[in-house]
Amino acid sequence: MHPIARILAIAYVALAVLAALVYVVATANYVAVTDVQVRLGDSVRVSGVALNWTGNRSDVAKVVVSMEVTNPGRVPIKVLNGAFLLYMEDPNASDTRPWYDAGRLSESFVGAGSFNVGLQDAPTVAPRETRTFVAVVTVEPGNPRMDTLDRPDAKGRFHPIVWGPSLVYAFLDFPIQDIVYMAPYFDAAGVFPSGP
């Protein structure tokens, strides 16, 4: 065999090995990203709502919504955005429609809540890690939404509804962003206001 032919043969073999390696890595990355995309919906939820308010209508009320994210995959993700609509159930109303009825919800809207973080500053959720993110809906005194918010039950508890919660996330090492939707949250047991 001619020496140039040997060099070309070795180069072709090296190129084939490199292509096979690239294919294996790309396939593994695709599987890892798809795994997160498929399973993340079962690993995110609204974990609770707190009402930071004195109960006095002349004070600012802050409704703090916590969203819990567990990364079920093998690659890290960054959480960029969380959004939802906040409603407050009126337990004293004679309305017999369920709390999730669209007509009933339209009468109990308090406000929209969200948090937004740029890609560079977004917190990372490592594989198998669980992190909690919060967003606040603020209701100022004199705002008509204060009437909707101030609906305690007979024991002084409030019953928030978090509707349409969603999270936008990105992969740390891949230029892919996606959105995941969570189940609505209704605090049937109720929460007490905890002061400012």
Q: How far apart are CA 39 and CA 80, in angstroms?
A: 18
For residues 69-81, average pLDDT: 93
Q: What DSSP state is assigned to residue 7?
A: H
Any domain includes 133: yes
pLDDT at res. 3: 77
Q: How many domains, in total, are found in the chain?
A: 1
Residue 171: which pLDDT band, with cuts at 50, 70 and 90?
confident
Please list the residues that pair with 138 across neighbouring strands. 62
What CATH number is attached to the domain comprising 64?
2.60.40
pLDDT at 105 over 70: yes
Q: Is residue 94 scored above 60 in pLDDT?
A: yes
In a domain, 191, yes or no: no
Q: Distances from the Cα of 165 to the Cαs of 57, 175, 191, in angstroms?
A: 27, 24, 19
Confidence of residue 125 (pLDDT cuts 50, 70, 90): very high
**82 in a structural domain:** yes
Per-residue pLDDT at 2: 73
Assigned domain for 194 exists? no
Q: Specify if 45 maps to a domain.
A: yes
| Residue ranges making up the domain that contains 40 | 3-186
pTM attached to this predicted model: 0.82
pLDDT score, position 26: 54
Which pLDDT tens digit goes with each residue over 39-69? 888 999 999 999 999 999 999 999 999 999 9
Is 83 exposed, middle or buried (CB count within 10 Å of its CB: 0-12, 13-18, 19+)?
A: middle
Geometric angle at alpha carbon 136, from 102 and 75, rounded to 5°:
95
Q: What is the mean pLDDT of residues 10-28?
A: 62
Of 59 and 20, the structure prediction assigns the larger pLDDT to 59
Please state, rounded to an integer, the average pLDDT across all residues of the chain. 88
pLDDT at 118: 85
HSE on the CB side for 147, CA within 13 Å?
4
CB 46 within 8 A of CB 84: yes
3 state SS of 102: helix
